[in-house]
Structure 1
Amino acid sequence: MKNLWSDRDAKAAVAHYAKQGINEDLALRTYTTRLLGGVPALVQHGGGNTSVKTVMKDLLGKPVDVLCVKGSGWDMAVIEPPGLPAVRLHPLQELIALKNLSDEEMVNVQRINLLDSSSPNPSVETLFHAFLPHKFIDHTHANAVLAISNQPNGRAICEKLYGRKLIILDYMFSGFVLAKKAAEAFRKQPDAEGLLLLKHGIFTWGDTARQAYDRMIRYVSMAEERLAEGRKKIVQAKLPKKIAPLEDVLPVLRGLLAVPTDQDGGFRRWVFDVRGGEQNLAFANGKDVARYSQQGTATPEHVIRIKPWPLILPAPEAGKLEEFAAAARVAIAKFADKYTAYFNRQNAKAEQKKIMLDVLPRVLLIPGHGLVAVGKSRKEASVAADQAETMVEVITRAESIGRFESISERDMFDIEYWSLEQAKLGKGAEKPLARQVAVITGGAGAIGAATAKAFAAEGAEVAVFDLDGARAAEVAKKLGGIGIACDVTSPDAVKAAFAKVVQHFGGVDIVVSNAGNAWGGRIGEVSDELLRRSFELNFFSHQYVAQTAVQIMLKQKTGGCLLFNASKQAVNPGPDFGPYGLPKAATLFLSRQYALDYGAEGIRSSAVNADRIRSGLLTDEMVAKRSKARGVSEKEYMSGNLLKREVKAEDVAQAFVQLAVAQKTTAAVATVDGGNIAAALR
C-alpha cells in the first residue's frame, strides 16, 4: 500500500482552507481523509470514516471542544470540511456511562449536539471516535485486512501478524455497544496504535493526522504482505466450448428479473453493470463457486447494496439460449425462496419485526462472462458492481491463504434490516421513466440532444447514437449515459451499436428513431441517386433501428416503445420537398405497422410530426432564406402557425416523452407544429 502523504500538499491544504476560516486540525483532517478515500482498496462509496478532536467557537464566540467526524452521505475521496460536521464532544463522552442506547436515541443526541443544525448526520461510529482519547482516528474497510480476518482462524492470524500493536475485537454491530467495548479494550491495551474489528475493518489513531494515516498504510501493507504468501488458486470448472455473447444473454436475464406492476403492461425493470476481467472470470468460473460465493459479503455494510449472496447462473452456451433462459428462471426462483427463508428465519428472532425487502439478487455470476450488478439505475448498479468486485477480490485472496468466512447470518440480517435503513422504505417516488433504457438516434442534433436530455430528466438511462461519435459522447456524458458513433444506414453498424447498449445497460426499452436529413428538389427532376440516398436515411435507417430494437425487446418479454420522427412532410408535403417527404410518409406507416404487428407483445409504436424546428434540417441560414422569400421576419416565419408561437426542439422532445409514458397509447401521431390544419390527422 503506497503512502501518499506529501508535506507540500499538506501545507497547501492548510493554506487553502485557512482562507475559508478552517483551522489547521480540520484542514489536515480533510486532506488525509481524501488520501484514504481515493484508494478503492481502502474505501468505497461512502464507507469508512475519520475524525479529529479540536476546538471551535459557538454562536456566542465561546471556544467549544468538538469532534469533527465524517457525515453520512459524504464520499471520503472528495470530502470537504462541511462533510466533517462538528459535534460537541463532552456530551458525547458522557454517554459512556449509559448501559443502553438505541440507534434512534444515538442519532438524536448526536444531532442535538451539532454546532450547525444543517449539518449531515454524523457517522454511526461517532461514539467510537468520541470515547477514545486520540486526536485523529481513521477507519477503513481495507481489502487486505478483510481477507486475512475473514477466516475461521482470523483472530489467530491477526494476533500473530500484529502482536499488541493492534487491539483485536470480534465482530459486533457498529454503534454504542462497539464504542464502549473499544474504549474498554484500549484501557487494557493503552500502547495500541489501532484496532482491528474482525470481518469488518481497521481503525488507526494518532496525535497528528500524518501519524494516524501512516499507521493505517503500515498495517494494511502488513496484511498485503501476509496475503502474498498465499499460493492457492481458485480451481476452474469446465465450461462449454462456446459461450453465448452478452448481447444475447443480458436481455433474457433483464426480462426474467423484471416484475410486473399494478399498471397494465408496466414492469419494474432493472439496469445492469457488467464486470469482466481475469479475476472476476476466474471467480465466476470456479469449480467451488457454490461454496465460497455464498458465505456472505466481504464487509458487513455491503449487504445493504448487494444482498447476502450473489445469484449463481449456469454457463450460457451459444446456440442454446432457450435452455439457458429456462435454467436461469429456475435459479432466480430458488434465490427468491432462499432469501425468503433467510428473512423469515431471522425475522422470527427479531424483537422488532421488519418489512421484507424485494427478494431479487443484486449480483449475478455468469460463467464465461464474470459478474453483473443489478440496480434501479446505472449509477446504483455501478456502486453494486464496485462492491461486488471488492467481494471477489477479498474472497479470492482469502481463499489463497485459507478459507473465506463472513459474519453470521444473524449479524448479516441485523445490518440489512437495520432500523435506520428500514425507516427510509417507501420514501421518494421514482420518476416516470426510471429503470428504462432509451436509445436516441441522431442524438447530437438539436432535436436529438433535447430528446436525450428530456428522457434523462424523467429518469431514463440514455444511449445517444450519431454519425459524429464525439458529439454523441459529449451529449451523453452530461446525462450520465453513453454516446456511440453509428451510421444508421448500415444494418451491421446498427446491430453493433445496439450490442454496445445491451452490454452497458443490459437491454433496451425505448427507441427514438430521430436521425434524418432533408433533401429537396422537384420530384420529376431529382436523380435516382438522391432519392435512394434519402430513402436510406429517412426510411430504411428507421427500419434497421426498429427491427434491431424489437429483437432485443422480444428477448426481454417486457414490451417496449418505438418512437419515430415522421415530420409534417409525411402528411402535408411541401413543394420541391418530395425526396424528403416520400420516405417520411413511408416511415409514418412503418410506425403503424410495428404497432400492428407487435402490439400483442406489449411493444408500442407511435410517431411525432413536427414543423419548422431549428435543427440540422432547418438551419438558421435556411430560416433566413425562407423568411426573406416570403417577405416576413424570421420570427414571423418560425411562428407561422395558428398559435403564432415558435416551436422548439424541446417541444418535440416533450412529445416523445409523453408518448413513451402513455402505456395505453400506440399507433398514434403527435403533431407538434403550433397548429397547421393541413398537417392535422385526428
Structure 2
Amino acid sequence: MQNLWSDQDAKAAIAAHAKKGIGEDLALRVYTTRLLGGEPKLVLHGGGNTSVKTRMVDITGQTIDVLCVKGSGWDMGTIEAPGLPAVRLAPLKELHGLQALSDEDMVNVQRSNLLDSKSPNPSVETLLHAFLPHKFIDHTHSNAVLALTDQPDGAALAADLYGKRAALVPYVMPGFALARKCSEVGQANPDVEGLILLKHGIFTMGETAEEAYVRMIDLVTLAEQRLARATRKIFPGADLPATPASVAEIAPILRGLMSIPAKSGGREAAQRFVFEFCTGPEIMAFVNGKEIARYSQQGPVTPDHAIRTKNLPFVAPAPEAGKLDAFEKATKAALEKFAADYHAYFSRYNGQQIVAKKELDPVPRVVLVPGVGLFGVGNTSKDAKIAADLAETTVAVIADAERLGTYECIPEPDIFDIEYWSLEQAKLSGAAEKPLARRIAVVTGGASGIGAATAAAFAKEGAEVVVIDRDVSTVKGFAVACDVTDAAQVRAAFDKIAATYGGVDIVVSNAGAAWQGKIGDVEDATLRQSFELNFWAHQSVAQNAVRILRAQGLGGCLLFNTSKQAVNPGPDFGPYGLPKAATLFLMRQYALDHGADGIRSNAVNADRIRSNLLTDQMIAQRSKARGLSEADYMGGNLLGLEVTADDVAQCFVSLAKAPKTTGAVLTVDGGNIAAALR
C-alpha cells in the first residue's frame, strides 16, 4: 500500500482551508481522509470514517472541545469540511458510563450536540471515535485486512502478524456496544497503533493526521505482504459450455425474471431493476469455479456491504449460446428457490427481534453468471454500480482469503442484524420514487433539438436515459455513437445498452432530417436517402427494441416522432412527408402486432418547432414565402403560441406514462386542424 502523504500538499490544504476560515486540524483531517478515500482497496462508496478532536467556538462565544467526524452521505474520496460535522465532545464522552443505548437514542444524542443543526448525521461509529483518546482516528475496510481476518482462525493470524502493534476486537455490530468494546480494548492496550476489528475492518490512531494515516498504510501493507506469501491454488474450474451466451442476450432475460409485478398486475406496472455488468480475469476465475456454491454463499466480506448487496449473491445457471430458452427456464427455477430461501432466512431471525422488521424484497443485488461475469443490481444505475463495485471487491477478498485458508465471514444472525438494522428500516418509508424510476429510456437523435429536450425530460422523471446519435461528444451521461441508418450499428447499440443497463423499457425514435423538393422533380437518390433515415431507421430501431422488450417480458413503449407532414403534407416537402407517413403507419403496425406482448406504440405529430429539423434558415425562408414575420410564422396556429422542443418532449413523456394508450398520435402544434387526428 503506497504512502501518498506529501508535506507540500498538506501545507497547501492548510492554506486553502485557512482562506475559508477553517483551522489546521480540520484541514489536515480533510486532506488525509481524501487520501484514504481515493484508494478503493481501503474504502468504497461511502464506507469507512475518520475523525479529529479539536476546539471550536460555539454560539455563546465559548471555545469548546468538539469531535469532527465523517457525516452520513459523504464519500471519503471527495469529502469537504462540511462533511465532517462538529459534535460537542463532552456529552458524547458522558455516554460511556451507560450500560446500553439504542441506535435511535444514539443518533438523537449525536444530532442534539451538533454545533450546526443543518449538518449531516454524524457517523454511526461516532461514539467509537469519541471514546478513544487519540486526536486523529482513521477507519477503513481494507481488503487485505478483511482477507486476513475473514478466516476460521482469523484472530490467530492477525495476532501473529501484528503482535503488539495492533489490538484485536471481536466482532460486534456497529453502534454503542462496539464503541464500548473498542474503548475497553484500547484502554487495555494504550500503546497500540491500531485496532483490528475482526471480520469488519481496521482503525488506526495518532496524535497527528500524518501519524494516523501512515499507521493505516503500514498496518495494511503488513496484511498485503502476508497474503502475498500465500501461494495455494484456488478456484479450480467447473465444466461449462464451450460457447457461453453473450451478456446482451442474457441480461434482458435476467432483468425480466427478477422484476416484481405490482399487486394490480400488468407488465407495465412491474417493479424493475437496473443492472451494471462487470467482468475480467479475477471475476471469471471466481464465477467459473467448481466450488462457487460454497465460497460465494458465505456472506459479505464486511458487514457494511450487506446493506447494499443483501445477505448473499445469486448464482445463475451457466448460459449456453443458442439455448436461451433452457437458460430462462433454469434461471426462473433458481430465482424461485433464491426467493424461498430468502423468505426462510427472514423468518428465522425476524422472530428473535424485539421489534418486528419489514421484510425487504427477495431480489438479489448481485448476480454471478458462470462463463460470463457478474451483475450489480439496483433501483438506479448508481445503486447498481455500487453493488457491482462491492461485488468486485468481494471477489478480490475471497480470492485472497482462499489462497490463505478458507473464507469465513460473520455468522448469519449477525448478517441479518446488519441488513435489517433499525436505522436502515427507518429509511423504507422515505420519499416516493419518480414516475419513470427504474425505466431505461433510449432517445435517438438525442444530442440536440427535440431529442436533447426529450432526453432531459425523461431524466427529470427518473428514467435512466441513453442517447443515440451520430455525434455524442457533447452529451453528458451514457450515450452511444451510432448512425441509425446502419442496421448493424443499431443492433450493436442496443446490445451495448442491454449489456450496460440490463435492458430497455422506453424507446423514443426521434432521429430525422427534412429533405425538400417537388415530388415530380426530386431525384430518386434524395427520396431514398430520406426514406433511409425517416422510415427505415425507425424500423431498425423499433425492431431491435422489440427484440429486447420481448426477451424481458415486461412490456414496454415505442414512441415515434412522425411530424405533421405525415398527415398534412406541405408543398415541396414530399421527400420528407412520404417516409414520415410510412412511419406513422409503422407505429400503428407495431401497436397491432405487439400489443399482446404488452408493448405500446404511439407517435407525436409536431409542427413548426425550432429545432435541428426546422432550422432558423428554414424558418426565415418559409415565413418570407408566406409574407409573415418569423414570430407570426412560428406562432401561426389556433392558439397563437410558439411551440418549443420542450413541449414535444413533455408529450413523449406523457405517452410513456400512459399504460393503456397505444396506436395513438398526439398533436403538438398549437392548433392545426388540417393535421389534427384523434
Q: TM-score, normalised by structure 2?
A: 0.99
- Post-superposition offset of 1:231: 1.1
Question: 205-214 or 183-192, which moves further after superposition?
Answer: 183-192
Q: Does 1:361 align with 2:364?
A: yes
Question: 1:60-84: per-residue Cα shift (whole Å, max 9, x none)?
Answer: 2210100111111110111111111
Partner of 1:269: 272
Partner of 1:104: 104
Partner of 1:419: 422
Q: For 1:70 and 1:204, how far apart are their aligned partners in 2?
A: 15
Q: Does 1:304 align with 2:307?
A: yes
Q: For 1:160 and 1:506, how far apart are their aligned partners in 2?
A: 46
Q: For 2:186 and 2:138, how far apart are their aligned partners in 1?
A: 16
Q: Does 1:451 align with 2:447?
A: no
- Post-superposition offset of 1:182: 1.3
Question: 159-168 or 484-493, which moves further after superposition?
Answer: 484-493
Partner of 2:332: 329
Q: Does 1:435 align with 2:438?
A: yes
- Post-superposition offset of 1:128: 0.6
Partner of 1:380: 383
Partner of 1:222: 222
Q: For 1:262 and 1:667, how far apart are their aligned partners in 2?
A: 26
Partner of 2:515: 519
Partner of 2:20: 20
Q: For 1:408 and 1:338, how far apart are their aligned partners in 2?
A: 16
- Post-superposition offset of 1:322: 0.4
Out of 377, 391, 394, the residue aligned to residue 391 of structure 1 is 394
Out of 448, 465, 469, the residue aligned to residue 468 of structure 2 is 465
Q: For 2:252 and 2:623, how far apart are their aligned partners in 1?
A: 49
Q: For 2:179 and 2:263, how far apart are their aligned partners in 1?
A: 46
Q: How does 1:37-56 map to 2 (within 5 A)?
A: 37-56=37-56
Q: For 2:59 and 2:88, how far apart are their aligned partners in 1?
A: 13
Partner of 2:551: 555
Q: For 2:382 and 2:318, how far apart are their aligned partners in 1?
A: 27
Question: 1:545-597: per-residue Cα shift (whole Å, max 9, x none)?
Answer: 11111111111010010000000000000011111101100100110010011
What is the DSSP-based 3-state SS (H/G/I as helix, E as strand, rest coil) of the residue aligned with 1:54? strand
Given residue 631 of structure 1, which amino acid in structure 2 is its aligned partner? Answer: G
- Post-superposition offset of 1:632: 2.1
Q: For 1:605 and 1:403, how far apart are their aligned partners in 2?
A: 54
Given residue 116 of structure 1, which amino acid in structure 2 is its aligned partner? Answer: D
Partner of 1:254: 255
Partner of 2:117: 117
Q: For 2:129 and 2:505, how far apart are their aligned partners in 1?
A: 48
Q: For 2:479 and 2:564, how far apart are their aligned partners in 1?
A: 28
Q: Does 1:566 align with 2:562?
A: yes
- Post-superposition offset of 1:175: 1.2
What is the DSSP-based 3-state SS (H/G/I as helix, E as strand, rest coil) of the residue aligned with 1:349? coil
Q: How does 1:608-647 map to 2 (within 5 A)?
A: 608-647=604-643
Q: For 1:532 and 1:75, how far apart are their aligned partners in 2?
A: 54
What is the DSSP-based 3-state SS (H/G/I as helix, E as strand, rest coil) of the residue aligned with 1:555? helix
Question: 1:116-168: per-residue Cα shift (whole Å, max 9, x none)?
Answer: 11111111111111111100000000000000000000000000000011110
Q: How does 1:154-193 map to 2 (within 5 A)?
A: 154-193=154-193
Q: Does 1:582 align with 2:583?
A: no
Q: Does 1:535 align with 2:531?
A: yes
- Post-superposition offset of 1:445: 2.5
Q: For 2:534 and 2:270, how far apart are their aligned partners in 1?
A: 32
Question: 498-507 or 184-193, which moves further after superposition?
Answer: 184-193
What is the DSSP-based 3-state SS (H/G/I as helix, E as strand, rest coil) of the residue aligned with 2:428? coil
Out of 337, 341, 346, the residue aligned to residue 338 of structure 1 is 341
Partner of 1:236: 237
- Post-superposition offset of 1:432: 1.1
Out of 490, 497, 501, the residue aligned to residue 501 of structure 1 is 497
Contiguous gaps of at least 5 residues in structure 1: none
What is the DSSP-based 3-state SS (H/G/I as helix, E as strand, rest coil) of the residue aligned with 1:67? strand
Q: For 1:430 and 1:68, how far apart are their aligned partners in 2?
A: 33
Q: For 2:178 and 2:248, how far apart are their aligned partners in 1?
A: 47
- Post-superposition offset of 1:468: 1.7
Partner of 1:404: 407
Q: For 1:488 and 1:85, how far apart are their aligned partners in 2?
A: 51
Q: Does 1:93 align with 2:93?
A: yes
Partner of 2:292: 289
What is the DSSP-based 3-state SS (H/G/I as helix, E as strand, rest coil) of the residue aligned with 2:15? helix
Q: For 2:533 and 2:460, how far apart are their aligned partners in 1?
A: 28
- Post-superposition offset of 1:484: 1.0
Q: For 1:90 and 1:445, how far apart are their aligned partners in 2?
A: 58
- Post-superposition offset of 1:314: 1.2
What is the DSSP-based 3-state SS (H/G/I as helix, E as strand, rest coil) of the residue aligned with 1:60? coil
- Post-superposition offset of 1:625: 2.0
Given residue 142 of structure 2, which amino acid in structure 1 is its aligned partner? Answer: A
- Post-superposition offset of 1:103: 0.7
- Post-superposition offset of 1:262: 3.5
Q: For 2:125 and 2:259, how far apart are their aligned partners in 1?
A: 37
What is the DSSP-based 3-state SS (H/G/I as helix, E as strand, rest coil) of the residue aligned with 1:64? strand
Partner of 1:137: 137
Question: 1:288-317: per-residue Cα shift (whole Å, max 9, x none)?
Answer: 000000000010010011011110111100
- Post-superposition offset of 1:190: 1.1
What is the DSSP-based 3-state SS (H/G/I as helix, E as strand, rest coil) of the residue aligned with 2:55? strand
How many pairs are equivalent?
Answer: 675
- Post-superposition offset of 1:533: 1.1
Q: For 1:204 and 1:244, how far apart are their aligned partners in 2?
A: 47
Q: For 2:109 and 2:621, how far apart are their aligned partners in 1?
A: 70
Question: 1:466-486: per-residue Cα shift (whole Å, max 9, x none)?
Answer: 12242xxx32x2xx4x21111
Q: For 1:189 and 1:466, how far apart are their aligned partners in 2?
A: 63
Q: For 2:376 and 2:239, how far apart are their aligned partners in 1?
A: 24
Partner of 2:592: 596
- Post-superposition offset of 1:287: 0.6
Partner of 2:75: 75
Q: For 2:257 and 2:181, how far apart are their aligned partners in 1?
A: 46
Q: For 2:57 and 2:471, how far apart are their aligned partners in 1?
A: 56
Q: For 1:125 and 1:65, how far apart are their aligned partners in 2?
A: 18
Q: How does 1:662-673 map to 2 (within 5 A)?
A: 662-673=658-669
Q: For 1:39 and 1:582, how far apart are their aligned partners in 2?
A: 58
Contiguous gaps of at least 5 residues in structure 2: none
CA RMSD, Structure 1 to Structure 2 (Å): 0.9
Q: Where does structure 1 differ by over 4 angstroms across 4 or more consecutive aligned residues?
A: none
Q: For 1:391 and 1:430, how far apart are their aligned partners in 2?
A: 29
Question: 1:401-458: per-residue Cα shift (whole Å, max 9, x none)?
Answer: 1000000111101101111111111211111111111111111120111111111111
Question: 256-265 or 325-334, which moves further after superposition?
Answer: 256-265
Q: For 2:533 and 2:216, how far apart are their aligned partners in 1?
A: 60
Partner of 2:246: 245
What is the DSSP-based 3-state SS (H/G/I as helix, E as strand, rest coil) of the residue aligned with 2:205? strand
Q: Does 1:319 align with 2:322?
A: yes
What is the DSSP-based 3-state SS (H/G/I as helix, E as strand, rest coil) of the residue aligned with 2:216? helix
Q: For 2:340 and 2:393, how far apart are their aligned partners in 1?
A: 26
Identity %: 64
